[in-house]
Amino acid sequence: MLDLDRPWKRPVPTSAQLRHDLWTALAAIVVAVASVELWHSANGASLGWMGVEAYLWFALAGALLAGRRRFPLTALLLVSAVFITIGERLTEFGVIFSIQIILFVALYSAWAWSRHPRRLQVTSAIVLVAMFGWLIWQFLRAAPPALPQVGLVPAPVAIVIYSLLINIVYFFGAMAWGQGAWRSARQRAEIDERAERERALQVGERERAVQDERVRIARDLHDVVAHHVSSIGVQAAGAGRVLDTRPDDARRALETIERSSRQAVSQMHELVGLLRSADETTGPGPDDREPQPGLGALHALATQGRGRPIITFTQVGAPFDVPSTVEASLYRVAQEAVTNVRRHARAQHAGVTLRYIGGCDERPATVEIEIVDDGAAMPEASDGSGGYGLAGIRERTSMHGGQCDIGPRPQGGFRVRVQVPVTS
């Protein structure tokens, strides 16, 4: 019950706890002094020196509780000394409940708040030896009462045994209760520490995953956009050297195209450099230069009847030309959403829908991806290869000026819908 090996060191009390101890001490002083007055009025017991000694000792015992958490061992020793002093100088007041409670609280606090196990053991041993030694001394120096024997045990012996048992329960009960409070505090601290470590780990994983997603976006942009823009620059430079119809105007136009394309490529490299800051030292891997999948590869995400969940693919509307960057991003959105369905949703069925929505004078054409399932609501993170799950989907959508709707459906399940405008 009393664990003498206490490797964990309890943190010092907070300011709020110290203020609480001050109020506790003030209440203890009031109750202790009031109990002295009531006992004196009821029994006519002598108050000691100048009629105030009892008040002073009891008030001092209550005041010592102000340090019960900040200086628990010192408070215990001083309260014990006051208790014995009262028992010696003011014998009739030694049985008052208030001083008994104050000593109990001091012993409990020592075992609940001491940060020095060896000092706690030594202090507790001193208090126990002093208290039980003083109690035995009281029995030895007092003449046994002349009481008739009415039971199996002689009256003086029964009184001694009963008193010792009561004190054993009193002192070791306070110590055990304090030890229980210390263990509870340790368990709470361990839980808080684990929670803090998990929060720090989640933050680190979130930052790494978001950065990985940004790296992947950068590679998509570089592989698709930069390739086409640089091709335009090369073709414009060649055309400027061979055209002979209105050569001056054509050459100036082609030079402008060439200059603009090179500036675009330069700016794109700067953007890629910003996005890939965390991956600069590694460089692209052997798989990074593969062609980027587009909308035509969405059907490959369907599983039809091969296991659970069953994922179907549907295309709505007449297809039209979609920029390669948008195609790559929408494919990654669908891929990430399907990965979430498989790993987190516990769904039986899911559907991937690709919609081509034609434009008009008021609004541009849009292409839309919608992934719905009949499973549970998805968490905000994904450990899939697509990156940091839903956060990555939002980032891709925002990059193209699109809109996304992510969340549970009223009829159950989860939906990810992304709509991106397509400008000619």
Helix (H, G, I), strand (E, B) or coil at 416: strand
| CATH number, residue 376 | 3.30.565.10
Higher pLDDT, 18 or 332: 18
| 3 domain-assigned | no
DSSP annotation string for 245-295: SSHHHHHHHHHHHHHHHHHHHHHHHHHHHHHTGGGTTT---TTTTSPPP-G
Percent pLDDT > 90 in the chain is 42
Residues 193 and 216 placed together within one structural domain of the fold? no
For the residues 76-90, what does the mean pLDDT come to? Answer: 95
- Domain count of the chain? 3
Q: Which residues pair with 312 in a beta bridge?
A: 351
Give the model's pLDDT for residue 284: 47
Residues 83 and 179 placed together within one structural domain of the fold? yes
Whether omega for the bond prior to residue 284 falls within 30 degrees of 0, making it cis, is no
Q: b/e per residue, 235-249, with b = 16+ CB within 10 A?
A: ebeeebeeeeeeeee
Cβ neighbours around 213 below 10 Å, total: 22
Residue 270 binned pLDDT confidence (cut-offs 50, 70, 90) = low
Per-residue pLDDT for 286 more than 90? no
Residue 280 binned pLDDT confidence (cut-offs 50, 70, 90) = very low
Residue 398 binned pLDDT confidence (cut-offs 50, 70, 90) = confident
| 179 domain-assigned | yes
Residues 100 and 194 placed together within one structural domain of the fold? yes
Residues 270 and 318 placed together within one structural domain of the fold? no
Hunting for tokens 């020095």 — which residue is that? 116
For the residues 392-414, what does the mean pLDDT come to? Answer: 86
Residue 233 binned pLDDT confidence (cut-offs 50, 70, 90) = low
Joined together, the tokens standing for residue 250 give 């054509």
Give the model's pLDDT for residue 382: 42
Residues 376 and 260 placed together within one structural domain of the fold? no
Residues 176 and 232 placed together within one structural domain of the fold? no
What whole-number distance in Å separates Cα of residue 409 and Cα of residue 23? 54
| 285 domain-assigned | no
Residue 222 binned pLDDT confidence (cut-offs 50, 70, 90) = low
What whole-number distance in Å separates Cα of residue 44 and Cα of residue 25? 27
Per-residue pLDDT for 19 more than 90? yes
What length is written for the chain? 424
Residues 267 and 362 placed together within one structural domain of the fold? no
Residues 269 and 300 placed together within one structural domain of the fold? no
Residues 300 and 244 placed together within one structural domain of the fold? no
DSSP annotation string for 123-174: HHHHHHHHHHHHHHHHHHHSPPP-----SSS-HHHHHHHHHHHHHHHHHHHH
Helix (H, G, I), strand (E, B) or coil at 62: helix
Give the model's pLDDT for residue 102: 96
Per-residue pLDDT for 348 more than 50? yes
Range of the domain at 106: 15-198
- For the stretch 84-127, pLDDT in tens is 999 999 988 988 999 999 999 999 999 999 999 999 999 999 99
What angle do the packed helices 72-89 and 117-141 form, to 10 degrees? 10
Joined together, the tokens standing for residue 123 give 């202090």
Residues 47 and 183 placed together within one structural domain of the fold? yes
Give the model's pLDDT for residue 385: 40
User: Which strands sit side by side in the sheet containing 403-408, from one edge to the other?
Assistant: 310-316, 349-357, 365-373, 414-422, 403-408
Contact (Cβ atoms closer than 8 angstroms) between residue 97 and residue 35: yes
Contact (Cβ atoms closer than 8 angstroms) between residue 308 and residue 346: no
| 56 domain-assigned | yes
| 6 domain-assigned | no
Per-residue pLDDT for 379 more than 60? no
| 100 domain-assigned | yes
Diameter of the chain by CA atoms? 140
**Does pTM surpass 0.75?**
no
Residues 312 and 270 placed together within one structural domain of the fold? no
What whole-number distance in Å separates Cα of residue 59 and Cα of residue 73? 19
Residues 84 and 144 placed together within one structural domain of the fold? yes
- For the stretch 300-322, pLDDT in tens is 888 755 667 888 999 999 999 88
